[in-house]
Chains A and B, each alone.
Chain A
């Protein structure tokens, strides 16, 4: 399916450490998007990487995309307590015109 599958399901780190989350998918995509959700609130778009891009940076975020392996990773460097949230990847395909979210990775950053 087009659904992104995040790994790990949960991650707990200390403030200042780096956090890496992975995403796998099964179909061809036009882009892949990462979103963050603070507890019980709406999702916030973090970054969009297109299928012809391999790496993209935005502040402390680094996203990689390997279309041959149908996988992506999100790296948050120098994490902060405020980064505590759930993170979702969403592969986007013009074949379906919609985003399908996985269950996400719950990140806890301890002060």
Chain B
């Protein structure tokens, strides 16, 4: 039973560029959440996808967008990259049940460096 997988593992981009990160949820899970974690900080909630729709969103600008596919996998897109976007991006999957926040399974993350 594969856990949550993310790709790529590491990524280096320059300011102004665009990036796409990918996530495959744990088998049987239908909800995907994305988090940004700056060095020394806790994960910050970006948004959550369920049934191919964005259900919840944190305090992130519109430069951050996402998508969920029919197979429940998800993408995080960031446009017009800023130096401050450098962080570990974590994907977490869970089983969405009536809006309750259930146990989330995290992937290993994608380390994004913006130069």
Q: Are A45 and B108 in contact (CB under 8 A)?
A: no
The number of residue pairs between A and B whose CB atoms lie closer than 8 Å in the complex comes to: 71
CA of A4 to CA of B105 in the docked complex: distance in angstroms?
Answer: 19
Question: Is there a chain A Cβ closer than 8 Å to B24's Cβ?
Answer: no
CA of A34 to CA of B33 in the docked complex: distance in angstroms?
Answer: 17
Residues of A within 8 A of B109 (CB): 40-42
Query: How many A residues have CB within 8 A of the partner chain?
Result: 25
Residues of A within 8 A of B90 (CB): 42-43
CA of A57 to CA of B4 in the docked complex: distance in angstroms?
Answer: 26
Q: Are B56 and A98 in contact (CB under 8 A)?
A: yes
Stretch from B13-21, B64-72, B73-81, B94-102 contacting the other chain: B94-102
Residues of A within 8 A of B48 (CB): 97-98
Q: Are B42 and A45 in contact (CB under 8 A)?
A: no
Contact with B along A3-35 (1 / 0, CB 8 A): 000000000000000000000000000110101
A93-B43 contact, Cβ under 8 Å, with A43-B90, A98-B48: no
Q: Which residues of B contact A (CB under 8 A)?
A: 4, 33, 35, 40-45, 48, 55-56, 58, 88, 90, 92, 98-109, 111
Q: Which residues of A contact B (CB under 8 A)?
A: 30-31, 33, 35, 40-45, 48, 88, 90, 92-94, 96-104
